[in-house]
């Protein structure tokens, strides 16, 4: 951590939907209505008025842990400085119907892509995917290390985590064991799955993937009179539809026909369709069109929906699930997230073993 950040308060309260976006759905006293999809008791109010500070936040969600176990808020600050704060003015221009420059639209796109990456749903989905996607990486790493050693290189790390380009430590360990025969040395590669790997993926996506993505033509669709967009805890919708009326979420950022949209105020909806020219900025939707968009926005929600005012439509689109056990289990996981991952209790995704020449000393 640099000297400047050491003098500032550690950013432990991390918003996975930033306050900069939440405030656009809040009342003048900075209150926003929250609808929970999972609750522990039927008697809980359907909608609760909450402060922005306590909305869409988890302690230490973006806290990075270095090889010595020290915690850093470097990633949280970088995401704010490079992607969140630069988008504030362009989003204000959109909601005030002001003209945006090419650079403004680029800042908006960068913000939307980050918002897709940083949610609890994305974290949960990546945790499920790693056991499948990571073993090939481990095997290729083992093969690379073995090739280096057989070609005479001896700089293989010993019980040291690999560190790639960026601020966040990649949680891979190359561990050298003891030789049993004086000739071969066992080498093991481990990758730990959890918050650290997720944070590394976020940073790599913002450093590398982002600049490779096609830049689509964005527009702003306006809600009709009497209709207000809601905001969810997973607000970026990537929708694919077919001619038979079927749909799926998770369309590719460059896949033709993917509709990408995100509410940025109760009246304004960012929208693009990959490979197609969008409607004119400021196009006002019909009630029927608005209801279709609102439905997909609500269906995309993970656990929480936010709104300027309680919306009966949301209660019908996403009925609450009442389970005290499930609610407390998720609450406990979030409360313990930092300690769990800081204490290196992350599940190992797999390991690759290979016997290598004892030239490694």
Under a CB-based contact definition with an 8 Å cutoff, are residues 307 and 43 in contact?
no
For 115, 299, 332, the CA distances from 233, given in Å and listed in that order, are 10, 11, 19
Burial class (CB in 10 A: 0-12, 13-18, 19+), 345: exposed
pLDDT band at 159 (very low <50, low <70, confident <90, very high): very low
Is 125-194+346-357 a domain of CATH 2.60.40? no
Residue 188 CA to residue 261 CA, distance in Å, equals 44
Under a CB-based contact definition with an 8 Å cutoff, are residues 14 and 59 in contact?
yes
Encode 307-319 in three state secondary structure: ECCCCHHHHHHCC
Give the pLDDT score at 56: 96
- Is 170 in a helix, a strand, or coil? coil
Phi and psi, residue 178, nearest 5°: -95, 140
Under a CB-based contact definition with an 8 Å cutoff, are residues 25 and 231 in contact?
yes
The whole-model pTM stands at 0.87
Q: What percent of the chain has pLDDT over 70?
A: 86
Encode 225-263 in three state secondary structure: CCCCCCEECCCCEEEEECCCCCEEECCCCCCCCCEEEEE
Number of Cβ atoms within 10 Å of the Cβ of 267: 19
Q: CATH 3.30.1300 residue ranges in the chain?
A: 125-194+346-357
Number of Cβ atoms within 10 Å of the Cβ of 133: 10
Residue 12's H or E segment, with its range, is none
pLDDT band at 173 (very low <50, low <70, confident <90, very high): confident
Q: State mean pLDDT over 122-134.
A: 88
Q: Which residues pair with 2 in a beta bridge?
A: none
Residue 16 CA to residue 199 CA, distance in Å, equals 12
pLDDT per residue over 280-303, tens digit each?
999 999 999 999 999 999 999 999
pLDDT band at 1 (very low <50, low <70, confident <90, very high): very low
Given the structure tokens 């499930």, which residue do they identify?
326
Give the pLDDT score at 192: 77
Under a CB-based contact definition with an 8 Å cutoff, are residues 196 and 164 in contact?
no
Under a CB-based contact definition with an 8 Å cutoff, are residues 355 and 185 in contact?
yes
Q: How many helices (H) and strands (E) are present in the chain, helices listed first?
A: 11, 20
Give Cβ neighbours of residue 129 (< 8 Å, ≥ 6 apart): none
Number of Cβ atoms within 10 Å of the Cβ of 212: 8
């Amino acid at each position: 951590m640099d000297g400047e950040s050491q003098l500032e308060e550690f950013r432990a309260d991390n918003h996975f939907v930033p306050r900069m976006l939440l405030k656009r759905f809040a009342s003048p006293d900075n209150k926003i209505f929250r609808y929970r999809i999972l609750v522990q008791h039927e008697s809980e109010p359907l909608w609760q008025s909450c402060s922005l500070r306590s909305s869409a936040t988890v302690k230490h969600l973006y806290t990075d842990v270095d090889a010595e176990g020290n915690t850093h808020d470097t990633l949280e600050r970088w995401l704010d400085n490079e992607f969140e704060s630069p988008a504030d003015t362009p989003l204000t221009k959109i909601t005030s119907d002001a003209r945006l420059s090419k650079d403004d639209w680029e800042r908006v796109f960068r913000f939307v892509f980050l918002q897709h990456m940083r949610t609890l749903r994305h974290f949960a989905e990546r945790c499920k995917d790693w056991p499948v996607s990571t073993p090939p990486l481990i095997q290729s790493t083992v093969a690379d290390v073995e090739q280096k050693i057989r070609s005479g290189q001896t700089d293989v790390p010993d019980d040291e985590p690999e560190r790639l380009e960026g601020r966040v430590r990649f949680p891979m360990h190359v561990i050298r064991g003891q030789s049993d025969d004086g000739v071969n040395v066992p080498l093991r590669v481990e990758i730990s799955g959890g918050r650290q790997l997720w944070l590394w993926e976020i940073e790599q996506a913002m450093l590398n993937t982002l600049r490779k993505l096609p830049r689509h033509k964005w527009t702003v669709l306006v809600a009709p009179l009497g209709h207000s967009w809601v905001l969810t805890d997973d607000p970026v919708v990537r929708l694919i539809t077919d001619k038979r009326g079927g749909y799926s979420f998770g369309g590719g950022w460059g896949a033709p026909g993917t509709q990408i949209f995100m509410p940025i105020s109760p009246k304004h909806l960012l929208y693009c369709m990959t490979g197609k020219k969008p409607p004119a900025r400021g196009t006002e939707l019909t009630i029927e069109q608005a209801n279709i968009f609102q439905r997909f926005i609500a269906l995309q929600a993970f656990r929480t929906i936010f709104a300027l005012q309680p919306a009966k439509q949301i209660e019908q689109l996403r009925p609450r699930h009442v389970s005290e056990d499930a609610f407390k289990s998720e609450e406990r996981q979030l409360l313990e997230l930092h300690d769990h991952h800081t204490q290196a209790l992350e599940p190992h995704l797999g390991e690759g073993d290979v016997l290598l020449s004892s030239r490694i000393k």
